[in-house]
Amino acid sequence: MKRKWMALFLALVMCVSLVACGDDTQGDDNEPQNQEEEQKPENGEGQDGEVEPYEPTYGEVEIDFWQHMDGEQFQILVDEYMDLHPNVKINLLSVSFWDYGNKIIPALAGGTAPDILLYDLATATERLAYGQTVDLTDHLAARGFDPSQFRTASMECCMLDDQIAGLPYLTDVRILYYNKDHFAEAGIEEPPATWDQVLEYTEKLTTYDENGNIERMGFHTGLGNLFPWTMIWTYGGQELDGETPVFNSQEGIDALQMAYDIQEASGGYDNYQLFYEGTQSSTMSPFVMGDVSMIVDTNEFAATIMRDNPELNWGAAILPTSDGENNHWTWSGGFDLEFTDHGDEDRLNAAIDFGLWLVSKEAQITYGTKSANLMCNTEAAEAVAAERTDLGDEYWAAVMESYDYGRYHDRCLAYPDFTNTISSAYTYVMDGTKTPKQALDDAAEIVTQEINNYHLMND
């Protein structure tokens, strides 16, 4: 009963906040449910425990596939696969990204999820740990699966000890976008390599009206898709060491102090709030509108620029770091393919076969070229970069270098929501309520207490 309650609890947490992954901190009490001994071998496993080669034996079979990305593009892929495999019928359900959690979470908790689903890569191992999805290890070994075809960080994010929770599908990175016209006007020739340069450039690029209100903002850490843990990484810090918070290290303090100093260089908190409120009247990003000179956002943001303001003269670069030479980390998210077992071996095998086709180089190129997404299959990602020349060499150079530095959140089953606590600390710093040290120390205490409460309830 306790495990069932925890599965529901985790599902609700994931609905509110998608957390990413890093170090595995799960203890013996949190082992997946699917470890019970069986009287007969699992699919693909011989009597001696060795995995036997897989050969598909199913005839006509029908499977369900749910996803939340480009429904039209996925339908093309589904139709292509069914043409290649006439015995397999795939029922595709495409749901809005913003509504997907409300549908998939109760289905996973209630055992009514589809055979194959696209979902949050960063939390895949949590669903496996609580028996909501299938351990793919033996199934993939029997099929001669080669994990080296994927980006290493993405594949590692799917691993729960020696179990495989999902197949990496697509990922993202955060990069720095900058307005080349603004830079030229301010006499700036190159994008910033350090946060000190970001501070310097912000002062040069920010302009004010006659009343002292911001007309154009050079940069602010609260705009776009830069989060405090990413800045901490670029200073050489991290979030957790096992289940011990370490984000309140000197590196973390320095990172949040820099975020505050950059805000002060562009008029301070109150001025930023007025500027930010003014941007909310438009559906377009203030960077796209030319009202912000630098912004950190995901690689997908380039497509937004091209759609909303194709005349914008913009460039891209990897994220700045504390010294410009080390810790070029960038926050990565993304999605993976996961599978559920409804007691029908044919359906499970058909779903896994389809999933492996979706992550193949050819299928990933098809999806990535159309969408300009960053695919987890490394050869596909490189092929898409070569094909989508409309986004520019500078953009792809920044994206592909960041691809190698992509990093996922540390994993904490005892308190998956710890990143929101870090975000709250950032807010206290920016509005002047607390110093960086006070805010991070207080946040570390909260995280520690939440983890202790979890173990009191579940150990």
pLDDT at 12 over 60: no
Q: Write down the pLDDT at residue 281.
A: 82
% of residues, the chain, pLDDT over 90: 83
Specify burial of residue 437 (Cβ count, 10 A radius: 0-12, 13-18, 19+): middle
Mean pLDDT to the nearest integer, 54-75: 95
Convert the pLDDT of each residue in 446-458 to its tens digit.
999 999 999 999 9
Mean pLDDT to the nearest integer, 359-367: 97
CA–CA distance, 257 with 235 (Å, rounded to integer): 11
Q: Write down the pLDDT at residue 413.
A: 86
Q: Write down the pLDDT at residue 283.
A: 87
% of residues, the chain, pLDDT over 70: 89
Q: Write down the pLDDT at residue 311.
A: 96
Q: Which residues are bridge partners to 216 per DSSP?
A: 207
Q: Calculate the alpha carbon distances from 13 to 315, 321, 415 in Å.
A: 37, 32, 10
Q: Which of 77, 111, 109 lies closest to 92, judged by CA?
A: 77
Q: Write down the pLDDT at residue 51.
A: 72
Q: Write down the pLDDT at residue 48.
A: 53
37-41, 189-193, 197-201, range with the lowest pLDDT: 37-41
Q: Which residues are bridge partners to 182 per DSSP?
A: none
Mean pLDDT to the nearest integer, 100-125: 96
Confidence of residue 41 (pLDDT cuts 50, 70, 90): very low
SS3 content of the chain, % helix, strand, coil (to 5): 45, 15, 35
Q: Write down the pLDDT at residue 49.
A: 56
Convert the pLDDT of each residue in 124-138 to its tens digit.
999 999 899 999 999
Mean pLDDT to the nearest integer, 46-73: 86
Mean pLDDT to the nearest integer, 289-309: 96
Convert the pLDDT of each residue in 146-184 to its tens digit.
999 999 999 999 999 999 999 999 999 999 999 999 999
CA–CA distance, 400 with 393 (Å, rounded to integer): 10
Confidence of residue 7 (pLDDT cuts 50, 70, 90): very low
Mean pLDDT to the nearest integer, 212-218: 95
Write out the E strands in 23-166.
Answer: 61-67, 88-94, 116-120, 159-160, 163-164
Half-sphere exposure of residue 40: CA atoms within 13 angstroms, side-chain side: 2
Instruction: Output the furthest CA–CA distance in the chain (Å, rounded).
Output: 81
Q: Write down the pLDDT at residue 68.
A: 97
**Where do the domains of the chain lie, and which CATH numbers do they carry?**
55-170+333-400 (3.40.190.10), 174-331+412-458 (3.40.190.10)
Average pLDDT, the chain: 90
Neighbours of 304 (CB within 10 A): 15
pLDDT at 17 over 50: no
Q: Write down the pLDDT at residue 52.
A: 83
Structure tokens, 312: 């914008």
17-21, 110-114, 312-316, 346-350, range with the lowest pLDDT: 17-21
Convert the pLDDT of each residue in 369-408 to its tens digit.
988 899 999 999 999 999 999 999 999 999 999 999 999 8
pLDDT at 199 over 90: yes
